[in-house]
Amino acid sequence: MADDIPRTIEEAVIKANELTRQIDYHNYLYYVLDKPEINDADYDLLIKQLIAIETKYPEIVTPYSPTQRVGAAPAEGFQRVGHLTPMLSLGNAFSAEELQAFHNRVIGGLGTSDDLEYVVEHKIDGLAISLVYENGLLVRGATRGDGIEGEDVTSNIKTIKSIPLKLQGDDVDIPPLLEVRGEVYMAKQEFARLNDLREKNEEPLLANPRNAAAGSLRQLDPRATADRALDAFIYGIGKYEGVELTTHAQTLEYLKAAGFKVNQLYRVFNNIQEVADYCDSWGEKRSSLPYDIDGMVIKVNSLPSQTILGSTAKDPRWAIAYKFPAEQTTTIVKDIIISVGRTGTLTPTAILQPVRLAGSTVSRATLHNEDYIKQKDIRIGDTVVIHKAGEVIPEVISVVLDHRTGEEAPFVMPEACPECGSPAERNESEAARKCTNVACPALLREGLFHFVSRDAMNIDGLGPAVLTNLLEAGLIRDAADLYQLTEDKLLQLERMGKKSAANLLASITKSKEAGLARLLFALGIRYVGVKAASVLARHFGDIDAVKSASVEELIKLDEIGEKIAESVAAYFASPASLELIERLHNSGVKTTEDKIVVADKQPFLGLTFVLTGTLIEMTRNEAAAIIESLGGKVAGSVSKKTSYVLAGAEAGSKLEKALQLGISVIDEAEFKNMIDEVS
Ligand code: IVH
């Protein structure tokens, strides 16, 4: 290779330019188009040749040489730089109605809907950047900052291989000035690779690709940025000279031709319904993309129309973000409070600055226990990343350490129960701290909330507020007292009218027939969930039989392990429990269940059911118990192995999947017929 090194500086410049052109071209094919034409070894050879020439003739190295993507020395800090035109943000629409309202505003602003077209793009969930090219050369890359001024991150931007250091095209087409705008992001796969590595090195995990990208772009050492491969989509232009453009779609095509990575999933529509449909279609399949999107961006296509519409102080009037329900977001921990559950466990909860998350507004998140807070080092005042665990309960995933000011207060778990002041102790083997007072009012109250809940005695109209009022008025002390309530007593409560009282009494009376399975669950015996309660009820048929069963007998049952068996036995050994059951029984609460002899008759053996939607005459848990008692299995998700999908009202994606896979779908009536036929 040494023989290839040019003998004169003039030849070196020519050869280096040629190699640069080739490398830039192959970079473009590989990083932008994802369609490489040469293999890695040939590419490396080109780089090596260029390095050899630049080593011999260091004076010819330009900042735009592909060898200079990584190489700048670590910076002490980032310089603030002004943007040539302000970097605006976007207004949000969260529903089809809000999108329609935007459309109406656009028509109002333009005075006509003639020729109105929209470009719809993915809203990449990363961070905004601005790149300035002078005479085709990248001279500056900056973060958005406050929209007027950002931070100069040029050295780090240069490590992103899909960003051209030099614009493509003939010299005549190279504009004297071009400021482009885009979004730097980290691909999901790269994020996973990085976190795997961090896990191995026992480093704290990064919360999501967006935070990872932000952290990466703001590394003071560009080599650290280069190690965490970032990427960038370019979606627009700021200030420019020497280019003629009339539509946004044309702008995107121009940017593509200039060598930028432009997301090819943009579409042009002349109808707002089609815009909404296109947005929704991506809302459903966004998880299949190799990068995160948090919505779609809708932009008026005509640039003159954009100018007519103009901007407010913050947002353009010609564009809007159609946001998908966020799966993760950040917010501030305003306080940490402690609640006491029905087993006496003290649970810390973060009180959050309200934010939208997965379609609702969230103002609290569970923090589980003191170890969780310690591990994640969550402090009051912290900015945190939250998500919905199991898509329901908001949970704090991590702290955004970059946002720490030093003012945040570490949390100290109280050693006394906040409800009754008794010592709250922690058992060595458990993470939970518990109130030691068996008569703690919190235990009683939470136990009652559980007793009346849907899967338990299912007493309508008896929510936490009414129960709390009843307790505070001294009208009830425990679950058995509920069955001694009368109209006179109920009318003592504020805001309780005759009609509500009558309804409530009817619900309470109805609950007497709930049966043993529900009653066993309602009693709140530790570790006895809906399933175990149902197994016990159907096997023993009567509460007296459960009461006298030994641990050995209990363990023999399917689904009943040692922990549950011991807990059941301990519960029925307590005189207080026996007294409560006696009083419930005397009030007419049913303490039996129809026995199902599981062993001989298993007509559903080998069948797997998936339950979805709302059933009317039974809960999903009840349906599941029936299926299992007949030998069938209940699965959480639909696959080829599913035999039947039992679909109630408002069944969603599971039903859709079943139809796609051609799996038999039955409704509640058909399900009941099936049971009748086999039993
Ligand atoms: S257009 C004036 N298009 O979303 C219009 N923004 O607040 C400015 N973003 O962080 C933005 N993908 O960087 C536009 N296809 C896209 C986008 C996009 C992501 C980001 C943008 C900024 C935020 C808008």
Please give the distance, rounded to the nearest whole angstrom, from the Cα atom of residue 242 to the centre of ligand 1: 24
Nearest-angstrom CA–CA distance, 155 and 220: 9
Please give the distance, rounded to the nearest whole angstrom, from the Cα atom of residue 321 to the centre of ligand 1: 8
Please give the distance, rounded to the nearest whole angstrom, from the Cα atom of residue 114 to the centre of ligand 1: 26
Please give the distance, rounded to the nearest whole angstrom, from the Cα atom of residue 387 to the centre of ligand 1: 23
Q: What are the Cα distances from residue 4, in Å, to 1, 53, 57?
A: 5, 9, 14
Please give the distance, rounded to the nearest whole angstrom, from the Cα atom of residue 181 to the centre of ligand 1: 8
Which range, of 2-6, 380-384, 392-396, averages the lowest pLDDT?
A: 2-6
Q: What is the dihedral of CA 570, 576, 581, 582, to 10 degrees?
A: 130
Query: pLDDT at residue 605 above 80?
Result: yes
In sequence order, what are the residues at sequence separation of 6 or more whose Cβ sits closer than 8 angstroms to the Cβ of residue 192?
A: none
- Return the residue whose CA atom lies nearest to atom 9 of ligand 1: 123
Q: What is the dihedral of CA 604, 610, 612, 616, to 10 degrees?
A: 10
Looking at the CA of residue 299, tell me the nearest atom of ligand 1. 1
The mean per-residue pLDDT over the stretch 324-328 comes to: 79
Q: Name the burial class of residue 39, with classes exposed (0-12), middle (13-18) and buried (19+) by CB atoms within 10 angstroms of its CB.
A: exposed
Query: pLDDT at residue 351 above 90?
Result: yes
Ligand 1, pocket-test mutation among 119, 231, 235, 286, most atoms within 8 A of CB: 235
Q: What pLDDT shows up at residue 112? A: 94
Please give the distance, rounded to the nearest whole angstrom, from the Cα atom of residue 46 to the centre of ligand 1: 36
Tell me which DSSP letter residue 565 carries: H
pLDDT digits (tens, 9 = 90+) for 371-385: 999 999 999 999 999
Q: H helices then E strands: how many in the chain?
A: 24, 24
123 catalytic residue (yes or no): yes
| Alpha-carbon 542 to chain mean position | 44
Looking at the CA of residue 125, tell me the nearest atom of ligand 1. 19
Nearest-angstrom CA–CA distance, 560 and 596: 17
Q: What pLDDT shows up at residue 424? A: 95
Looking at the CA of residue 90, tell me the nearest atom of ligand 1. 7
The mean per-residue pLDDT over the stretch 78-97 comes to: 91
* Residue 665, strand partner residues: 645
Ligand 1, pocket-test mutation among 183, 248, 306, most atoms within 8 A of CB: 183
The mean per-residue pLDDT over the stretch 350-376 comes to: 90
Please give the distance, rounded to the nearest whole angstrom, from the Cα atom of residue 205 to the centre of ligand 1: 27
Specify the DSSP element, H or E, that contains 357: strand 346-357
Please give the distance, rounded to the nearest whole angstrom, from the Cα atom of residue 144 to the centre of ligand 1: 11
Please give the distance, rounded to the nearest whole angstrom, from the Cα atom of residue 134 to the centre of ligand 1: 23
Q: Name the burial class of residue 58, with classes exposed (0-12), middle (13-18) and buried (19+) by CB atoms within 10 angstroms of its CB.
A: exposed
- Return the residue whose CA atom lies nearest to atom 21 of ligand 1: 128
Instruction: Indicate the average pLDDT of the chain.
Output: 91
Looking at the CA of residue 89, tell me the nearest atom of ligand 1. 7
Nearest-angstrom CA–CA distance, 422 and 632: 47
Looking at the CA of residue 88, tell me the nearest atom of ligand 1. 2
Domains of the chain plus CATH, in order, are 2-69 (1.10.287.610), 92-322 (3.30.470.30), 327-413 (2.40.50.140), 437-511 (1.10.150.20), 516-586 (1.10.150.20), 608-678 (3.40.50.10190)
Nearest-angstrom CA–CA distance, 178 and 131: 8
Which range, of 138-152, 381-395, 474-488, averages the lowest pLDDT?
A: 381-395
End-to-end, the C-alpha distance of the chain in Å comes to 84
Q: What pLDDT shows up at residue 208? A: 84
Please give the distance, rounded to the nearest whole angstrom, from the Cα atom of residue 129 to the centre of ligand 1: 10
Nearest-angstrom CA–CA distance, 184 and 130: 10
In sequence order, what are the residues at sequence separation of 6 or more whose Cβ sits closer than 8 angstroms to the Cβ of residue 417?
A: 340, 344, 346, 423, 424, 435, 436, 437, 440, 442
Please give the distance, rounded to the nearest whole angstrom, from the Cα atom of residue 405 to the centre of ligand 1: 28
Q: What pLDDT shows up at residue 430? A: 85
In sequence order, what are the residues at sequence separation of 6 or more whose Cβ sits closer than 8 angstroms to the Cβ of residue 170?
A: none
The mean per-residue pLDDT over the stretch 517-541 comes to: 92
pLDDT digits (tens, 9 = 90+) for 26-68: 999 999 988 899 998 999 999 999 999 999 999 999 989 999 9
Look at residue 50 and give its three-state secondary structure. Answer: helix
Ligand 1, pocket-test mutation among 83, 88, 89, most atoms within 8 A of CB: 89
pLDDT digits (tens, 9 = 90+) for 236-257: 999 999 899 999 999 999 999 9
Nearest-angstrom CA–CA distance, 573 and 30: 72
Q: What pLDDT shows up at residue 327? A: 76
* Residue 201, strand partner residues: none
Ligand 1, pocket-test mutation among 184, 297, 314, most atoms within 8 A of CB: 297
The mean per-residue pLDDT over the stretch 468-479 comes to: 94
Looking at the CA of residue 263, tell me the nearest atom of ligand 1. 15
Question: One-letter amino acid identity for 96?
Answer: A
pLDDT digits (tens, 9 = 90+) for 192-229: 898 888 888 887 778 789 888 998 898 888 888 888 88
- Return the residue whose CA atom lies nearest to atom 17 of ligand 1: 123
Q: What is the dihedral of CA 137, 139, 143, 147, to 10 degrees?
A: -100
Looking at the CA of residue 181, tell me the nearest atom of ligand 1. 13
54 — phi, psi (to 5°)?
Answer: -65, -30
- Return the residue whose CA atom lies nearest to atom 13 of ligand 1: 128
Q: Which two tokens stand for residue 375?
A: 């591990």
133 — phi, psi (to 5°)?
Answer: -115, 125
Query: pLDDT at residue 599 above 50?
Result: no
The set of protein residues with a Cβ atom below 6 angstroms from ligand 1 is 88-90, 121, 123-124, 128, 183, 235-236, 297, 316, 319, 321
- Return the residue whose CA atom lies nearest to atom 4 of ligand 1: 123
Query: pLDDT at residue 335 above 80?
Result: yes
Q: What pLDDT shows up at residue 107? A: 97
Which range, of 1-10, 102-111, 313-322, 493-502, averages the lowest pLDDT?
A: 1-10
Question: One-letter amino acid identity for 358?
Answer: A
Q: Which of 298, 266, 315, 305 is nearest to 107 (CA)?
A: 305
* Residue 140, strand partner residues: 132
Nearest-angstrom CA–CA distance, 14 and 19: 9
Look at residue 311 and give its three-state secondary structure. Answer: strand
- Return the residue whose CA atom lies nearest to atom 2 of ligand 1: 88
Ligand 1, pocket-test mutation among 123, 261, 298, most atoms within 8 A of CB: 123
Q: Which of 123, 158, 166, 323 is catalytic?
A: 123
**Winning range, highest mean pLDDT, from 202-206, 302-306, 405-409:** 302-306
Q: What pLDDT shows up at residue 185? A: 97
Looking at the CA of residue 319, tell me the nearest atom of ligand 1. 5
